[in-house]
Structure 1
Amino acid sequence: MQPSSSLLVKLLWLPLVLPGQPQLVRSMSNLVDESGICHCVVFLPNNSTLLQQLEQLQSAVQKLAGKYEQLMSRANDYARAIEEQDNQVLEMNHIPEFRNPSTVASRDESPAFNLLRVELEGVQRLASQLNVKGGAADLLHQLQGKVTNASLTLKLLADTEQRSFNALQQEVDVLEGQLSQCEREKEQDQASRDSGLSLAPGSCAHGGLQKVSRPFVLKLNWRGISYKAGAWGRDSAPKPASSLYWVAPLRADGRYFDFYRLYKFYDDLMLLKNYEQWKMGYGDGSGNTVYNNFMYFNYYGTNDMAKVDLSSNTLVLRRPLPGATYNNRFSYASVPWTGLNFAGDEEGLWVIYATEHSKGNLVISRLNASTLEVEKTWHTSQYKPGLSGAFMACGVLYALRSLSTRQEEIFYAFDTTTGQEHTLSILLDKMLETLHGINYCPWDHKLYVYNDGFLVTYDLIFLTTKYQLPIRAAAKRLSGAHAPQKSIRPSRPSRP
């Protein structure tokens, strides 16, 4: 065959040449016809199994590539849909479902996401099996890489969506808290205008408690729903140095007090950030309170009063309370391990308890906050295990009893200034059945209640001085921890 001549090669058959196989194409010289066509002889094997396997492999690869393109198209559709939903959520002013995160299904747990994830996992397994069988290695490697990238993209999309949802939920919680704060302030201002009363922080220029606002639920305690017992609040000194918030859940057994957290600002409490967490390890029950940056509580397994410096988590004082019962003797109804119940108000630091001498009736003692010495003691006519709780406000003890699983009644008051007691009927709604720690803050005139694991507040509305509650029964003002008790059955006063 001449190099300059026009050459047309007619290939009869060219099979795939595999390693280790004999040469199936043989070149033959000087076989050019008159038209300049070179004739070659090709020897085909008798068995065509290899060719069939190659065709099947190529067909499987094509199907796999088509399925991959479909899945990627669906993933892109999901991404666009999620982005549109996020934009709609951001434009909404109020979404009730966010108040209960358990009712909102995460998108990465939706059936569509699960189906897409299962299909991608199946594609990955198929690609791995084909890779093991061999053939078209480069194409399979590229395809397997694309499937892996698609799976990672899907996971990243789900994780990003969940993080966005959690961040948005926290923002909504803060905004709802601020809105409710404004609503409560407006309600309190209106009540003050109606009664002619404008009460300054830490002031006792009023005629006693008139009513309690509806409960405002801030959030679940930071340890979780299993920690149903505990206490929380603000510094109960009349003029605290800072707006310190504290949260002290008990262990799941409802008795042992070991950890607590401190927050300097309300928003930090709502977002669970910028806190100090301390371990104490020797508290008993939910009767603790904070007064002038010190925490006061019942020392575990004793009738000792304990005082801890919150700036360093240091136990600075421990002193027994004469005659006080402990180890679940004469605790509040449905609230065990409340032998000593500490309280702070405009008049100072108090401890509420019972003794064997009082036969379980409530006893009030005013304490020296520095030395924990008892300065004065009063006995009441109320049997402590028949009460659900008590708190102090402006030197007056207010006692509660349970009416139902959703309502309490502040039914009794004892004024330590006059030594007089009288009955009330102020209803207090509650979200869950049991009120554990109840703490009053003179600075904002609120009750801080630990309600079966949830942090709840109430606004207190007081009467003007010209509408002081009438006294229907009198009790002698008693001093000394073992003073004799005069039992009085007070009658219900007329409404002012």
Structure 2
Amino acid sequence: MTVPLLKIGAVLSTMAMVTNWMSQTLPSLVGLNGTSVASGGTSEKIVSALYPSSEEGWQIYSSAQDVDGKCVCTVVAPAQNMCNRDARSKQLRQLMEKVQNITQSMEVLDLRTYRDLQYVRNTESLMRTVDSRLKIASDNPRSLNPKSFQELKDKVTQLLPLLPVLEQYKADARMLGRLKEEVRNLSLVLMAIQEEMGAYDYEELRHRVLLLETRLHSCMQKLGCGKLTGVSNPITIRASGSRFGSWMTDTMIPSSDNRVWSMDGYLKGRRVLEYRTLGDFMKGQNFVQHLLPHPWAGTGHVVYNGSLYYNKYQSNIVIKYHFRSRSVLLQRSLPSAGYNNTFPYSWGGSSDIDLMADENGLWAVYTTIPNAGNIVISRLEPQSLEVLQTWDTGFPKRSAGEAFMICGTLYVTNSHLAGAKIYFAYYTNSSSYEYTDIPFHNQYSHISMLDYNPRERVLYTWNNGHQVLYNVTLFHVIKTSGD
């Protein structure tokens, strides 16, 4: 049986587990040298040696294990200028240390894979048990009444699509076994080199390490978009500015661009600070200032492909400001959109128009009088700011604390204060909604900005004068063969 798309209700596969963690690992994506969460739920920032100095010449693709115990594959590659026969002893010692890190990560990942497969096997057993009951009922229809028979049949129909996924998980486990064996072989080769210097070609060694990295990238590309199933504990990056504001990185440009933008306040502000990296933002150094020609309203700004999109003060006009040219490229009004605290989020702050971006592009979240104050979602054309399509969610905007888009789905919190949770989800791909119950730890008790960055798969938050990040857990859509 061919299944076009299988939506699995938990992130069980090794591919999903590895990729989800890697996409949440901020150091390799936005320049953060390291973050950790202390015991007791207290968030703090640290700077560690995830990135060795340029003199050492090593590049780290991702780290070993996060604070929640999620596993990752660590791939280490020597820089181009280090792949030579000079200073061989030092290179060998460093490479041996990195291979040991890879091996340790693989061992942890192997343990998690084993547990996942146990769960999958239990599901398979349950499915076959239910299928057996159905066969018995088919042979003896009197053993079940019509209603029970139909329910059992429907349950079996729902379980059958799991079979191709089981095969995919088993294939993942076999693939990881091969990777682990390759790393073990590489370790043995390096030990031999240590005994006989010069017996191995460094260029070939470099090729083998890079091959592991390529295969890991291949795993990542198998995964499609995902549905939000969880939000991590908060990671406090910095405490700066007033109670209200917004901060962000570009949601579209390559990860090599690590700039961070900060906009303090929610009303009549014009000053945008641009930091070179997240590390610079943490220290409050190495920044340039942009003075916008028109003041902003609210905190629903977004940086998309090198331009800032924001709501012009006392209007329903969206402005596109280009950072490199320091000029306004375009401004356009949102038809019938409320402004100036007509339809804000529950915290107020002229948050009538919330601009955001996700994997599907640029969005505006707002409301209108014809929509009776319910949240409206519009997908915008980034070049012209033309409204491409609009959805009426039916959810009252004044009852929402904040909102963000992931993979074409709008997620809404029920409060901006402590005790908030992600309460509502609207799916633009099906024009449907559901009420959710996803815990959301509001550490500083007053959120005035909450946005998702699809490039890094994290939530950016301005929380009572603190700039905070949240990792997200997505349940992935897995494409099977024949799609």
Instruction: Give me the TM-score of the superposition, normalised by structure 2.
Output: 0.55
Q: In the aligned structure 1, how far is the partner of 2:273 from the partner of 2:222?
A: 28
Tell me the residue number matched to 1:434. 446
Q: In the aligned structure 2, how far is the partner of 1:282 from the partner of 1:246?
A: 16
Matched length: 290
Q: Post-superposition shift, 1:367?
A: 0.4
- Call closer, same or farther: CA 1:217–1:313 in 2, change over 3 Å: same
- Call closer, same or farther: CA 1:183–1:424 in 2, change over 3 Å: farther
Q: Secondary structure at the match of 1:398?
A: strand
Q: In the aligned structure 1, how far is the partner of 2:245 from the partner of 2:272?
A: 10
Tell me the residue number matched to 1:394. 407
CA contact (8 A) 1:219 1:455 kept: yes
Matches within 5 A, 1:211-222: 211-221=230-240
CA contact (8 A) 2:340 2:352 kept: yes
Q: In the aligned structure 2, how far is the partner of 1:466 from the partner of 1:371?
A: 34
Q: In the aligned structure 2, how far is the partner of 1:349 from the partner of 1:400?
A: 20
Q: Post-superposition shift, 1:353?
A: 0.2
Match of 1:381 among 381, 391, 394: 394
Is there any run of 5+ residues in structure 1 with no aligned partner, and where?
A: 1-93, 101-171, 468-496
Tell me the residue number matched to 1:209. 228
Q: Secondary structure at the match of 1:269?
A: helix
> 277-286 vs 334-343, which deviates more?
277-286
Q: Secondary structure at the match of 2:282?
A: helix
Q: In the aligned structure 2, how far is the partner of 1:241 from the partner of 1:314?
A: 24
Matches within 5 A, 1:273-288: 273-280=285-292, 281-288=294-301
Tell me the residue number matched to 1:424. 436
Tell me the residue number matched to 2:363. 350
Tell me the residue number matched to 2:17. none
- Call closer, same or farther: CA 1:364–1:177 in 2, change over 3 Å: farther
CA contact (8 A) 2:306 2:323 kept: yes
Q: Secondary structure at the match of 1:444?
A: coil
Tell me the residue number matched to 1:413. 425
- Call closer, same or farther: CA 1:249–1:453 in 2, change over 3 Å: same
- Call closer, same or farther: CA 1:286–1:435 in 2, change over 3 Å: same
Q: In the aligned structure 2, how far is the partner of 1:282 from the partner of 1:248?
A: 11
Tell me the residue number matched to 1:456. 468
Q: In the aligned structure 2, how far is the partner of 1:267 from the partner of 1:232?
A: 14
Q: Post-superposition shift, 1:407?
A: 2.8
Q: In the aligned structure 2, how far is the partner of 1:184 from the partner of 1:356?
A: 49
Matches within 5 A, 1:111-122: none
CA deviation digits over 1:39-65, x for unaligned, max 9?
Answer: xxxxxxxxxxxxxxxxxxxxxxxxxxx
- Percent of residue pairs identical: 27
Is there any run of 5+ residues in structure 2 with no aligned partner, and where?
A: 1-35, 52-61, 73-108, 117-168, 173-215
Stretches (4+) displaced over 4 A: 176-179, 181-186, 191-204, 238-241
CA contact (8 A) 2:223 2:477 kept: no
- Call closer, same or farther: CA 1:201–1:278 in 2, change over 3 Å: farther
CA-atom RMSD in angstroms: 3.3
Q: In the aligned structure 1, how far is the partner of 2:374 from the partner of 2:64?
A: 39
Q: Secondary structure at the match of 1:270?
A: helix
CA deviation digits over 1:154-181, x for unaligned, max 9?
Answer: xxxxxxxxxxxxxxxxxx96527979x9
Tell me the residue number matched to 2:128. none
Q: In the aligned structure 1, how far is the partner of 2:337 from the partner of 2:69?
A: 38
Q: In the aligned structure 2, how far is the partner of 1:219 from the partner of 1:402?
A: 23
Tell me the residue number matched to 1:234. 249
Amino acid at match of 1:234: T
Q: In the aligned structure 2, how far is the partner of 1:465 from the partner of 1:311?
A: 37
Tell me the residue number matched to 1:139. none
Q: Post-superposition shift, 1:335?
A: 3.2
Q: Post-superposition shift, 1:257?
A: 2.1
CA deviation digits over 1:18-71, x for unaligned, max 9?
Answer: xxxxxxxxxxxxxxxxxxxxxxxxxxxxxxxxxxxxxxxxxxxxxxxxxxxxxx
- Call closer, same or farther: CA 1:202–1:302 in 2, change over 3 Å: farther
Q: In the aligned structure 2, how far is the partner of 1:234 from the partner of 1:380?
A: 28
Q: Post-superposition shift, 1:406?
A: 2.7
Q: Post-superposition shift, 1:239?
A: 4.5
Q: In the aligned structure 1, how far is the partner of 2:453 from the partner of 2:222?
A: 11
CA contact (8 A) 1:202 1:443 kept: no
Which one has more relative contact order, counting CA pairs under 8 Å at least 6 apart? 2
Tell me the residue number matched to 1:187. 68
Matches within 5 A, 1:1-16: none
Matches within 5 A, 1:204-353: 205-221=224-240, 224=241, 227-237=242-252, 239=254, 242-250=257-265, 254-280=266-292, 281-353=294-366
Q: In the aligned structure 2, how far is the partner of 1:211 from the partner of 1:332?
A: 23
Q: In the aligned structure 1, how far is the partner of 2:221 from the partner of 2:258?
A: 13
